[in-house]
Structure 1
Amino acid sequence: MHRRTRIKICGITRREDALFAAEAGADAIGLVFVEASPRAVDMDTAAAVRRSLPPFVQVVALFMDAQRAAVEGVVRAVAPDLLQFHGREDARFCASFGRPYLKTVAAGDGYADLSAASAAYPDAMALLVDGHASGEMGGSGKPVASDALVGASHHPLVLAGGLRPDTVAAAMQQFRPWAVDVSSGVEHAPGIKDPARVAQFISEVARADEQQSE
């Protein structure tokens, strides 16, 4: 049976980029609530993006070692479908907001133990593997090394880090993820998406899916 790899376009800062991503076939868009990030979005913009999206396109709110009050504020104002935690948050904290969550596993140190991460975050909806090192933010454009992942996870795998229209098919072939997550690889500048690259990325994911099903 043919399985379709899901697609998240992350680091959205503009309503028009969110709408184009949805129309092009993205399953989810990511909103970054990390002040130090060049892709950070303010609450009013995030809420406007949320209101403008069509049905069945999910909104993912990304945090990194945020205070509880900050996460609660986003949950109230934006009503994201999923939360994504990039820092040192423990499983109890991640699960305490009444929303499904993704937990990021940094693979940039050359070693990412999926078995340990899966055991540490049993309630996570998925593990998101990114190419950045521990303590760094996502969106760096660093790919996940072929030998960086060890162990097995009972969670679905979301692959991020260094994905571009010209690299995503090979990465899918290697890691066989449930979903792919792209940010810098489809941009003009941080937070400003390139519609042509977004459309090409989504087309390349579909093409890779078709090749894997043959």
Structure 2
Amino acid sequence: MGLLHYAPVRTSIKICGLKRPEDVDFAVNSGVDALGFVFYPPSPRAVSPQHAAGLISRLPAGVDAVGLVVNASDAEFAAIRAYAPITLWQFHGDESPEECQRLAAGDPWIKAGRVGEGFAFADFSLQYRQAAGFLLDALVEGYGGGGIPFDWQWIPEAWVSANAPRVVLSGGLNAHNVGEAIARLQPCAVDISSGVESAKGIKDAVLMAQFIEAVRLADSKKPMR
């Protein structure tokens, strides 16, 4: 169905940072909506465009292949495009709205916001208004949330309600806290990486299954609309 297919009674699930075919297969067979592939060389979860292409070839129609980039150059972006059939771009660095729009070249894209106390949500969504989605991650040193949750109370209820079809919640999620996150915020989607790993870049089938089960349990408790 894709990451940003919004249905109030069903939360989309994205698992990010995959490197192994068996992890891709398990996630797909478990019914996830999107898988993320990291094209940021300093990351322990980084993959080459060629390796990503092989992993993406295992995805059925309807499951998004999300390409995560951090301040990628034109040449780096072109190299990814040459091999990996990305369906949704995730800009996770300091890219301006104009850079995101130019690099995506007509493809849908989401922009990561690094949320700390006082984060200007209204300004962020206005600045990146052409984005298909807003991914909320924790503000930590470097890029990426570091598997650390941020205080969900910082997210204005009016903002998340107005932008629900585009909100992807990330940052330290796991099977134990995702239910509370969904109940509180009702995001379009949730995104997880380190919370389903046995080691960096190595996904754990049991943890993935528990996370997916927790999301679906939370969905089952949503009021019917």
**The two structures share one fold, judged by TM-score above 0.5:** yes
Match of 1:100 among 108, 114, 127: 108
| 1:175 pairs with 2:182 | no
The aligned runs of 1:73-84 (5 Å cut-off) are: 73-84=79-90
**Contact map agreement 2:8 2:186 (CA 8 A) in 1:** no
Aligned mate of 2:14, from 5, 8, 17: 8
Superposition RMSD in Å: 1.7
Q: 2:195 aligns with which of 174, 185, 198?
A: 185
Q: Could you say what secondary structure the match of 1:112 adopts?
A: coil
Q: Match of 2:75, SS?
A: helix
Residue matched to 1:196: 206
C-alpha distance after superposition, 1:87-141 (max 9, x if no partner): 110111111222110000001x3232221111111110010000133x6222511
What is the percentage of aligned positions where both structures have the same residue?
37
CA distance in 2, matches of 1:110, 1:68: 33
How many matched pairs? 212
Secondary structure of 1:188's counterpart equals strand
Q: Per-residue displacement from partner, 1:156-184 (whole Å, max 9, x unpaired)?
A: 11000110011110111122111000000
The answer to whether the 8 Å contact 2:167/2:188 transfers is yes
Match of 2:78 in 1: 72
Amino acid at match of 1:83: W
Q: Bigger shift: 144-153 or 196-205?
A: 144-153
* Alpha-carbon distance between aligned partners in 1 of 2:79 and 2:213, rounded to the nearest angstrom: 36
Q: 1:162 aligns with which of 140, 163, 172?
A: 172
Alpha-carbon distance in 2 for matches of 1:52, 1:6: 19
TM norm structure 2:
0.89
Q: Distance in 1 between matches of 2:171 and 2:17?
A: 13
**1:67 Cα deviation from its structure 2 partner:** 0.7
Residue of structure 2 aligned with 1:51, choices 42, 48, 57: 57
Equivalent position amino acid for 1:179 in 2: A
Query: Are positions 1:36 and 2:49 aligned together?
Result: no
**TM-aligned CA deviation for residue 146 of structure 1:** 2.5
Mapped to 2, the partners of 1:101 and 1:129 lie a distance apart of: 14
Amino acid at match of 2:130: D
Contact 2:8–2:188, Cα closer than 8 Å, also in 1: no
1:148 to 129, 142, 154: 154
Q: Which segments of structure 1 move beyond 4 Å, counting only runs of 4 or more?
A: none
Normalised TM-score (structure 1): 0.93
SS in 2 for 1:34: coil
In the alignment, structure 1 residue 113 sits paired with structure 2 residue 129: no
Counterpart for residue 130 of structure 1: 137
Name the CA distance, whole Å, in 2 between partners of 1:145 and 1:7: 21
The CA distance in 2 between the partners of 1:138 and 1:2, in whole Å, is 27
The answer for unaligned runs of 5 or more in structure 2 is: 1-6
- Counterpart contact for 1:27–1:58, Cα < 8 Å: yes
